[in-house]
Amino acid sequence: MMENAWLIPLFPFVSFVVLLVVGKQLKERSAYVGMLLTLLSLVFALGALYERWTSPTYKQAYTWLTIGDVDITVGFEVNALNALMLVVVSLVSFLVHTYAKGYMHGDERFPVFYAYLGLFTFAMLGLVVSPNLLQTYIFWELVGLGSFLLIGFYFYKEEAKAAAKKAFIMTRIGDVGLLIGMILLFLEVKSFEYEAIFAALQQGDVSTTIMTLSAILIFIGAIGKSGQFPLHTWLPDAMEGPTPVSALIHAATMVAAGVYLVATLFPLYEASEVAMTTVAYVGGFTAIFAASIGLVQTDIKRVLAYSTVSQLGYMMLALGSAGYVAGVFHLMTHAFFKALLFLAAGSVIHAVHTQNIEQMGGLWEKMKWTAPLFLIGTLAISGFPFFSGFFSKDEILIAAWTHGHVGLFVVAVIAAFFTAFYMFRLFFLVFAGEARTNVHNVHESPTVMVLPMIVLGVLAVVSGYVQTPWGAFLGEWLTEGTNWHAHTEGPSWIMIVATIVSLCGIALAWLIYGKRAIARDWLSSRFPLTYNVLMNKYYIDEFYGLTVIRAASFISLLFEYIDRFLVEGLAQLFAATARGVGRIGSRLQNGQVQMYGTVTIVALAILVVIFAVTGGYL
Amino acid sequence: MQPYFLSLLIFSPLLGILVLSLLSKEQEKAIKWLGVLATLPSLCLSLFAFWQYQNGYDISKLTEKRSWIQFGEFPFLKETDFTVAYELHVDGFALVMIVLTTILATLAAIASTSIQKEWKGYFQLFLLLEIGMLGVFAASNLVLFFIFFELTLIPMFFLIGKWGYFEKEKAAYSYLIYNGLGSAVLLIVIAVLFARTGTSNIAELRYILTNPAVQTISPISDDLRYGLFIALLVAFGVKLPIVPLHRWMLRVHVQAPPSVVMLHAGVLLKIGAFGLVRFAFGLFPGQFQQFSTSLIVFGIVNLLYGAFLALRQTDFKMVLAYSSVSHMGIVLIGLGSLNEAGVQGAIFQAVSHGFIAAFLFFFVGVMYERTRTTTLVRLGGLAKTMPYVSGFVLAGAMASLGLPGTSGFISEFMAFVGAFQAAPWLAAIGTLGIIMTAVYLLRAVLGMTFGQTTVSNVSDLRGIEWVPAISLLLLIVIIGVYPNVLAMPLQTTIETMMNGLGG
């Protein structure tokens, strides 16, 4: 199965091409093409995972580009980390393909949507099987393309247009960091292969400066893709895309690519203490920063988006605290419960046709499936005991604590409290109480949408049990053949603290939004300034608008003036001189012999002088 | 057929010119078909040669040489001194450029079906232009090179001046004056070299100029070398163009008919790159080496200057014009890096930008034909009315901004690998260009295709228009997915160049 792993990304690509060509004829039957081909990917991915369980890493490479005497290769690889990722990605993709059949029903560009989904899935799976940095970068950019196309799917909406553009450009800023880091590493190691890079690191062939520099530059790429501070602003805006897309790309898979990249290059980060600390601090800061914004947002998808940013920060914090297993584990559980939350949110939006949680309420009665599934997702992300998020978040806290990042540990605990609070705020506002606006015809979504949610709901509960304090199956498998910790023994009070904090968050949300024992405008009336800052996302967008964008337009304007006046002016001056000389010349041609005689004699005199000075030969 | 192969390849459009002159002016359909048909022989021949070369055929066997002009007889000199032969020769690089030319010529001829008037004269000039371009790449002495170089100038002047848009005459004169001055400078270089060495054969000149041991008929001092090198830089800098010699090409981009711009941006600008590699680098490697950092700086100026200006343009043609300026910066950066990766990147960029620019300008023509405008704001929401055209334009923009999987990425990537090796700090500044390219292209393309629909009742891509659209996109993607298809033919050229440096 592993030697056929190259087929896994190829199936969705076939779907993309087929739907591009005959989608118009297939109409909504396009969904079956997409579903079937991603199902094939899933089957092959499961096969690869199963086989990798017992056999060693499989890798193949072919020459792709020759520069001088260096051969750059492409190929594919199945190792523990990417076998796991293959299954997660193809599974979520398949579920989203299924769900979207119901969600996108009736859309004019239905086949296009499925074609784009295919393109994205191809790129994401291609990213995961890449055995070298360059190939990773290639697919890294292609997932960006898929994300861009799907964010801009409702192209006629100005917001979608702006969001798509912003997503592409913000992530590209990060990508340039990745590109530079990658090239620097290549020039040092003379290879893009991960194996070669790690071997060079072990032998100490890479200078410390280059190592740290490229690790940090590559991390900038991860910051862009995974929506970490300060390049996070595109991710909440990306919610303009259709909700299944938000679930697949902007929650479960693509945004996790940054975490995946750092995990893949873990030996590089391990070798550089500075880079490692940077990762931890950026992650920790993002975790609490985004969670605090999530506390006050009123758009259901945006709350989830900030929660994604925050959770990705958690994963980075884990990796930066040497918690390789913790980071990857949380990546997996998060993929399941966040995809579930998004799909459930989509189901809600599908039913009530608004995204504003202020206008929802009382849906528990009306959506018999969606509501409990959303609750499962909420419990999982809040770290409620014995749900998947509980175990993975616990691993992260232990990693941060045992690595000695006490400050970051505290930050992570507070962020966990925020998470529990804003998620249950969301839950109570949407599902509890009475309907706040008279929305008619609220109905449960069709089966084709509910089924994928049920699968994810099950996974959101059980996927935590692969790595518990009592047995570290996942960790042992992932760290086989390395000296990384399969599981870090942490003090048991951490788990108790985490549980209490999460319960407190839930309780507070219940008091305010469920029981309404505390006034809802408690924060906004007491601390209007804090509230406004949070509501406006710390004014980061405004800040970029005033600085970066202003500067760019100023430079543009400046160049425009230079081009129009200086450059063109010089050219005109040149032309005018030529014209002037011509005019003088033509005035000399006035038909008078005396004038011609004068010119001849003057010219002769000049020639004599030149000959005398240069000695006869130029 | 070997001894005539290259001549046949270059002059086969002549047949079309002759047959066209027999047709009556009014036979629009026949003329258009014949115009396309006349480009096919050279296309087939060049593809055949390329295919043979890929399979290991030694293309130096195609070299042709016939005695042509002799300047008097000098008893004290060798017999071959001061003679100019009619000689043609191609290496991998030249062959790649020839294939680029023939492909774009055929596709531009297809795109020329939208030309509204005087088709006969148009296609005759068009074919003459093709002869000139092909000759430039195959000429193996400077005199012949110069003749072909000038041969591109004249038909282009008329093509712009007669079939262009509102300010066509101004653009045509501007083109002629800038390029005429460039040519004049080039002619001085050629004359000086010929006078001092007695030969104009490029290979011989390279041997003479790079071996200090060789005695020339009259001495060539270091100062003179610098002078000649800078003159070459100016002559080809006009063509490429290097900022601040770029103003003429903006006008051409905007005023010339899109089918002509396909050739202009696709091939003619690349003659600048070709000339820099062949002559500035080939004949004066020492001077080139000393100027290499300056070239990178020039390249970065081009890259950023073009990008920032493209950000402000309101007309899609102007966006593309400045984007060409910007992308030619990559050529300079690559060449200035003076290592395999950089030089290979520069040549890749020449080819890749040829395809991408032609691709995008093809769609400028398509859009203008239907909407009578290329102003960004007036085109909003095209994705609704012309989904295929919008999709292709977006694909073209993605290739242009260097998305992996397209040829644009490979060239940009290699150029930057080279630049980071040669001058990391400058290269780091240059990467700002990668971001800016995305910014201005997305602004322009999303401005046209996304948002509320403003133009209605226009038809999408139809009939023969699919041919250029699909073939160019395929070429762009093939190079992007399997770059060795282009890298292998270039290996010898690049090796030769690197050996010319010799430390």
User: What pLDDT does A464 receive?
Assistant: 85
Asked if A116 contacts B391 with a C-beta cutoff of 8 angstroms, the reply is: no
Asked if B29 contacts B51 with a C-beta cutoff of 8 angstroms, the reply is: no
Residue A252 DSSP symbol: I
**Contact call for B487 and A173, based on CB within 8 A:** no
CA distance B179 to B161: 15
Asked if A475 contacts A327 with a C-beta cutoff of 8 angstroms, the reply is: no
Mean pLDDT confidence for B210-236 = 87
Q: pLDDT per residue over B105-161, tens digit each?
A: 999 999 988 888 888 899 999 999 999 999 999 999 899 999 999 999 999 999 999
* Residue among A415, A273, A392, A414 nearest A324 (CA): A392
Q: Token pair for residue B463?
A: 């009939």
**Contact call for B414 and A67, based on CB within 8 A:** yes
Q: Where are the alpha helices (DSSP H) in B198-246?
A: 202-210, 222-239
* Residue among B109, B120, B190, B110 nearest B149 (CA): B190
User: What pLDDT does A440 receive?
Assistant: 67
User: What pLDDT does A386 receive?
Assistant: 87
Burial of residue B453 (number of CB atoms within 10 Å: 0-12, 13-18, 19+): middle
Predicted TM-score (pTM) of the model is 0.92
Q: Which residues lie across from A70 on neighbouring strands?
A: A67
CA distance B364 to B374: 7
User: What pLDDT does A618 receive?
Assistant: 52
Chain A partners within 8 Å of B312 (Cβ): 553, 556-557, 560
CA distance A462 to A474: 13
As for the ipTM of the complex, it is 0.92
* Residue among A335, A334, A356, A358 nearest A345 (CA): A356
Stretch (H or E) spanning A64: strand A58-67
Chain B partners within 8 Å of A158 (Cβ): 451-452
Look-up: residue for tokens 């993929």?
A: A335
Query: Domain limits of chain B?
Result: 4-501
In angstroms, the separation between the Cα of residue A590 and the nearest Cα of chain B is 28
Asked if A221 contacts A88 with a C-beta cutoff of 8 angstroms, the reply is: no
**Contact call for A64 and B483, based on CB within 8 A:** yes
Chain A partners within 8 Å of B434 (Cβ): 172, 176, 179
Q: Token pair for residue A67?
A: 């520069």
Q: Is B172 helix (H, G, I), strand (E, B) or coil?
A: helix
CA distance A42 to A248: 15
User: What pLDDT does A532 receive?
Assistant: 83
The maximal CA–CA distance of chain B, rounded, in angstroms, is 79
CA distance B444 to A385: 51
CB atoms closer than 10 angstroms to residue B214: 11
DSSP string, B45-114: HHHHHHHHHHTT--GGGG-EEEEEEE----TTS-TTTTEEEEEE---HHHHHHHHHHHHHHHHHHHHGGG
B435 touches chain A (CB under 8 A): yes
Stretch (H or E) spanning B499: helix B484-501
Q: Is A462 helix (H, G, I), strand (E, B) or coil?
A: helix
**Contact call for A183 and B420, based on CB within 8 A:** yes
Look-up: residue for tokens 């996927």?
A: A463
User: What pLDDT does A164 receive?
Assistant: 92
Q: Token pair for residue B88?
A: 């043609």
* Residue among B373, B394, B393 nearest B458 (CA): B373
Asked if A289 contacts A316 with a C-beta cutoff of 8 angstroms, the reply is: no
Return the beta strands (E) in A492-546 as ranges.
Answer: none
Burial A393-405, CB ≥16 within 10 A → b, else e: bbbbbbbbbbbeb
**Contact call for A180 and B339, based on CB within 8 A:** no
In angstroms, the separation between the Cα of residue B42 and the nearest Cα of chain A is 29
pLDDT tops 90 at residue B48:
yes
Asked if A424 contacts A505 with a C-beta cutoff of 8 angstroms, the reply is: yes
Chain A partners within 8 Å of B431 (Cβ): 176, 179-180
B451 touches chain A (CB under 8 A): yes
Q: Is A299 helix (H, G, I), strand (E, B) or coil?
A: strand
pLDDT tops 80 at residue B385:
yes
Q: Number of helices and strands (H, E) in chain B?
A: 21, 2
Q: Is B213 helix (H, G, I), strand (E, B) or coil?
A: coil
Task: Please give, one letter per residue, the 3-state secondary structure of A344-367.
Answer: HHHHHHHHHCCCEHHHCCCHHHHC
B234 touches chain A (CB under 8 A): no
Look-up: residue for tokens 């995946």?
A: A260
* Residue among A481, A482, A483, A464 nearest A472 (CA): A464
Asked if B214 contacts B173 with a C-beta cutoff of 8 angstroms, the reply is: no
pLDDT band for B412, please (50, 70, 90 cuts): very high
Residues in chain B: 503
CA distance A541 to A594: 77
Residues of chain B numbered 304-343 and touching chain A (CB < 8 Å): 305, 308-309, 311-312, 339-341
Chain A partners within 8 Å of B435 (Cβ): 169, 172-173, 176
Burial of residue A603 (number of CB atoms within 10 Å: 0-12, 13-18, 19+): exposed
**Contact call for B491 and A66, based on CB within 8 A:** yes
B487 touches chain A (CB under 8 A): yes
pLDDT tops 50 at residue B211:
yes
* Ramachandran region, residue B146 (left: φ > 0; alpha: ψ -120 to 50; beta: rest): alpha
Residue B277: phi and psi, rounded to 5, are -70, -50
Characterize the bridge pairing of strands A471-472 and A58-67: unpaired
Determine if the peptide bond prior to B241 is cis (ω within 30°): yes
CA distance A466 to A33: 33
For residue A26, give every residue at least 6 positions away whose Cβ sits within 8 Å of its Cβ, in sequence order, or none: A19, A33, A111
Q: Which residues of chain A have pLDDT under 70?
A: 438-440, 616-618
* Residue among B428, B408, B427 nearest B418 (CA): B427
Chain A partners within 8 Å of B420 (Cβ): 180, 183-184, 187
Q: Token pair for residue A569?
A: 């002016």
CB atoms closer than 10 angstroms to residue A319: 31
In angstroms, the separation between the Cα of residue B393 and the nearest Cα of chain A is 14
B459 touches chain A (CB under 8 A): no
**Contact call for A65 and B177, based on CB within 8 A:** no
Q: Which residues lie across from A356 on neighbouring strands?
A: A299
B196 touches chain A (CB under 8 A): no
CA distance A305 to A146: 18
* Residue among B39, B28, B43 nearest B121 (CA): B28
CA distance B35 to B31: 6
In angstroms, the separation between the Cα of residue B384 and the nearest Cα of chain A is 8
Asked if A151 contacts A215 with a C-beta cutoff of 8 angstroms, the reply is: no
CA distance B386 to B399: 20
User: What pLDDT does B503 receive?
Assistant: 45
* Residues B475, B478, B483, B488, Cα dihedral to 10°: -70
For residue A66, give every residue at least 6 positions away whose Cβ sits within 8 Å of its Cβ, in sequence order, or none: A72, B484, B487, B488, B491
Stretch (H or E) spanning B240: none
**Contact call for B247 and A180, based on CB within 8 A:** no
Percent helix / strand / coil, chain B, rounded to 5: 75, 5, 20
**Contact call for B311 and A553, based on CB within 8 A:** yes
* Residue among B484, B270, B472, B249 nearest B355 (CA): B472
The maximal CA–CA distance of chain A, rounded, in angstroms, is 114
Chain B partners within 8 Å of A165 (Cβ): 442-443, 446
Q: Cα B426–B431–B435 angle (5° rounding)?
A: 150
CA distance A261 to A127: 9
Counting one residue from chain A and one from chain B, the pairs whose CB atoms sit within 8 A come to 123
Mean pLDDT confidence for B392-415 = 93
Q: Is A60 helix (H, G, I), strand (E, B) or coil?
A: strand
